[in-house]
Amino acid sequence: MWHFHLALTGLGSTGISCGIRPKVRLLDTQGVLILRPHYRSKAGIQLVHQVNQIFRWNFEPSKLTPTTLWMMLLNKPRYLQTYLNGVVELKYIEERREKTRERLNLLQSELGVLENILGDKACVYSTGSFGRLEAGSNSDLDLFIVTKTSKLTDGEVETTVNQLSQLDTILVKAGLIGAVRKLKIPDFDADGRYLACHSVEDFLSSLGGPDDDYKNTLTGRLLLFLEGRPLVGEKVHSEVIDEVIAAYFEDFADRSEEFVPAYLANDILRLWRTFCVNYEFGRKSKRTASKIKNYKLKHSRMLTCYSALIYLLAIFRSKGTVSVMDAKNMAALTPTERLEWVLNQSEFEEVHLQIEELLSPIPTS
């Protein structure tokens, strides 16, 4: 039996503790994935602490670090939004979502010609602030191109090839660059370095491998359904999500009544740790941008990862299992929508205050 819970471990660090309790063994084996404390906001700490108490899966909480002032519950915030039927009303989030959708619709109208190139072979999806429906006026666009593959046989030799050719990939990139500049969206980050074409085969064959991060397939695969939004090729985008989720749920058929998505949860945590390590590396060479990078890390990127874990934990607590459809439903929600979903479930009212604090706007005075 698997046992998971979010925990505060070590010197105030946050992580997920997991254990295996075989029927024939006397002792539990447990491991803890640790996150450095300065990567967390105050409200985030409280949320993890509360989730640890509510959503733990048959596991006793880890021994906690002595509570310090900065780890305690925030003072009663004067800036919390008004309530409607017990649910916090977050107008500012809805306004940002609506504005982002309008901009995405304009972008999609400029990209219509790419449908003829991509056909049923590939898709383009956005991540980052546009994928989360949180884009501001100065937000740039983070995009991934993903192609399906085909098997070619030459005698006894079988090779895998991308359905989207190299030349068509260049045309797609040119179309994306032209549309972005026409709409006066900031140019792609790192001079377009990350505007690459991956294949579904890349996503699946690298899963869990040592080269997953190096090839950027870890980021592309997980952001696909943690905060991805299709721009071109919606049908292919849905098919790719199905294939990726299926890879994480290979053992579901044998344990459908009590399935814990440990493979997926660990990969999400791997992505979070990658974000943290990349931040530490990047801030050494880009000191002027370190503050905004730090803010993005401990807010938007933390929410991307931990909103998914919280959602999966909540589903498990309600149903005693997590299905493929549950994972697909999670993929259809933005990070903040996942937290709002928890707010709408009365059985999780113990963490409602912390979630409300996370979703509330930062005070201006």
User: What is the DSSP secondary-structure string of 287-351?
Assistant: GGGHHHHHHHIIIIIHHHHHHHHHHHHHHHHHHSS--HHHHHHHHTS-HHHHHHHHHT-GGGGGG
The domain containing residue 189 runs over which residues?
111-247
Tell me the residue type at 143: L
Residue at 217 is within a domain: yes
Q: What is the pTM of this model?
A: 0.76
Residue at 237 is within a domain: yes
pLDDT for 73 equals 36
How does pLDDT run across 197-234, given as a tens digit for each residue?
999 999 999 999 989 988 899 999 999 989 999 999 99
Output the domain CATH number for residue 152. 3.30.460
pLDDT for 63 equals 40
pLDDT for 258 equals 95
Strand (E) or helix (H) holding 352:
helix 352-359
- List the one residue out of 226, 223, 196, 192 whose CA is nearest residue 336: 226
Residues 6+ apart with CB under 8 A from 174: none
The residue with tokens 């999670």 is: 330
d(CA 17, CA 7): 6
pLDDT for 157 equals 82
pLDDT for 363 equals 56
Residue at 169 is within a domain: yes
Residue at 233 is within a domain: yes
The residue with tokens 């305690």 is: 72
pLDDT for 307 equals 96
User: End-to-end distance of the chain based on CA atoms, in angstroms?
Assistant: 50
Mean pLDDT for each consecutive 10-residue tract of the chain (365 residues)? 42 41 33 39 57 47 37 37 46 91 96 95 96 92 95 84 96 96 92 90 93 91 95 96 96 94 96 91 67 84 95 96 97 96 93 87 56
Residue at 209 is within a domain: yes
Q: Cβ(311)–Cβ(331) under 8 Å?
A: no
Residue at 137 is within a domain: yes
How does pLDDT run across 90-112, given as a tens digit for each residue?
688 899 999 999 999 999 999 99
Residue at 179 is within a domain: yes
Burial class (CB in 10 A: 0-12, 13-18, 19+), 335: buried
pLDDT for 292 equals 79
Q: Cβ(93)–Cβ(132) under 8 Å?
A: no
**Number of structural domains, the chain?**
1
Residue at 118 is within a domain: yes
